[in-house]
Amino acid sequence: MIRKTKIIATIGPATSTKEMLRRIIQRGVNVCRINFSHMSHKKAKQVISSIKEINQELHKHTAILADLQGPKIRVGEIKNSLKLTRGKEVVFCTRKKRNTMYIDYSRFAKDVNIGEKILIDDGKMSLKVLSTNKKDTVKLKVVFGGVLTSNKGVNLPSTKITLPCITTKDRKDLEFILKQKIEWIGLSFVRTSNDIKSLKRLIKRNKSPHKIIAKIEKPQAIKDLDAIIQEADAVMVARGDLGVEVPTQKVPAYQKMIVEKCIMESKPVVIATQMLESMTDNPRATRAEVNDVANSVIDGADALMLSGETSIGKHPLKTVDTMRKIIRDVEKSKHSISKNESPRPTKNKERILSEAICANACSISEQTKAEAIIAVTYSGYNAIKTSSFRPNAFIYAFTHNHTILNTLSLVWGVRGFYYDGGATTDQTIEETIDYLKQNKLIKKNDFVVNLASMPAQEKGMTNVMKLSKVK
């Protein structure tokens, strides 16, 4: 059985060798994530090169996601661990001074206000602002203590921060990323749709084909969610920082809302963070984790992401196997994956014809119990649009563009094939059906729905739909 929900694996010390990359891709990884918070450009270049070689050797279309660090705030170096006890007062400073804690956010003292909450190390420690000189120094009181070590992350859930979404480090990383054959860029800590627009301008300036995944992990992003979804190419529910920035109990509802909105807008959506967290150290997942993965599949997510489990975990291969097995079993079950079977009005008037055809192709495929929807695509648009209806039929995308092939590896239910195109639409339809039949993906008497454009040589938008019975 072909799996429809895709798997993203974060690459790190546990998986960065070519042999390990090969093994996780063979086990079912569709997208490899490079986290630029932790990986150097030199190492990233080696990993990218290895993935490209593996794709050629195995005839795969594994995509690469470059994840920018974004405005992550951290405490400085601490020689010895520091125990923060409840009620204790501590001083944070944006300059390195004696008897103070250094914080790498230059506008920290200017942005925070008395009474605001400061969270450290994914919320394990909580402090409250007692005073600020609005220049460089802030006095805080420990509400929930713990042991503080170097470079721990800081979250300011109630503070309106003025850090740019794309930091100086991000710009240096982008300069490197935009020179590489990478399909997706993850933008961290998105607050408004303007953040996406800023990154788009940088990409456009470079004349690059890179697509943007907006990572939702700030309360401000929830408020501007509709505009962010419209502007981004895909969205990630980044539950780690989101669960720190907003009350934890709100995250499940936010996840379902984001997934639903993305599917309605035909935007791929990723669920990330702690999906199989216990497998970082243990060879088996907890029952709660299995249920979490299963429910994310049922919600209709395009892809599920592994983080520390595959980057630094002890059992990366077992983790990928576990996620693949859960996905397959859920997809085989009778539990419905989120669907949008009724055509939705399009906001893109230029694509109204192709969107109507994609919607009705899904409807016809359900009526006829078609085995496949075959999409000949030049931009990937018709495959993504068709996917958003979450049809029971498999979506097979044929394109001459290798970048598009890799990009579609993130998209639910889509499997891509290289095809340089027939001289006519009829020839294209015939050849794609024959190819799938030869590769035993469809068989005699199966119904298939073809999506194509006419005339074929113009490579225009989808304007043809044909229902066929395989001979």
Q: What is the DSSP secondary-structure string of 360-375?
A: HHHHHHHHHT-SEEEE
Q: Tell me, what's the pLDDT at 207?
A: 87
Give 73-155's CATH code, choosing from 2.40.33.10, 1.20.1730.10, 4.10.640.10, 3.30.470.20: 2.40.33.10
Q: Which two tokens mark 443? A: 């068989």
- The CATH number of the domain covering residues in 6-70+166-331: 3.20.20.60
**Which of 3, 215, 218, 415 is the catalytic position?**
215
Let me know if the fold of 6-70+166-331 is the same as that of 349-469: no
403 carries an active-site annotation: no
Whether the predicted pLDDT of 408 surpasses 90: yes
pLDDT at 342 over 60: no
pLDDT over 80 at 403, yes or no:
yes
Mean pLDDT computed over 31-47: 96
| Residues with Cβ within 8 Å of residue 458, at least 6 apart in sequence | none
Q: Let me know if 324 is a catalytic residue.
A: no
For 358-362, what is the mean pLDDT? 92
Measured CA to CA in angstroms, residue 441 lies from 2, 301, 454 at distances of 9, 24, 25
Residue in the block written with tokens 């070590």? 149
pLDDT for the residue 311: 96
Using a pLDDT cut of 90, give the percent of the chain over it: 80
* 143 has a pLDDT exceeding 90: yes
Residue 346 above 70 pLDDT? Answer: no
Query: Per the residue annotation, which of 45, 52, 74, 324 is the catalytic one?
Result: 74
pLDDT at 338 over 70: no
95 catalytic? Reply is: no
Residue 380 scores a pLDDT above 80:
yes
Say whether 215 is catalytic.
Answer: yes
- Catalytic residue, chosen from 3, 4, 6, 33, is 33
Residue 219: pLDDT above 70? yes
With a cut of 80, say whether residue 339 has pLDDT above it: no
Strand order, beta sheet including 447-452: 414-418, 394-399, 372-376, 447-452, 464-469
Residues 280-290, mean pLDDT to the nearest whole number: 97
Average pLDDT of every residue of the chain = 93
Confidence (pLDDT) at 1: 64
Q: Which CATH architecture has domain 349-469?
A: 3-Layer(aba) Sandwich (3.40)
Parse the chain into domains and list their residue ranges.
Answer: 6-70+166-331, 73-155, 349-469
Q: State the Cα–Cα distance between residues 202 and 199, nearest whole angstrom.
A: 5
Comparing C-alpha atoms, which of 183, 306, 191, 274 is closest to residue 234?
183
Angle at 100 between CA 95 and CA 106, to 5 degrees: 30
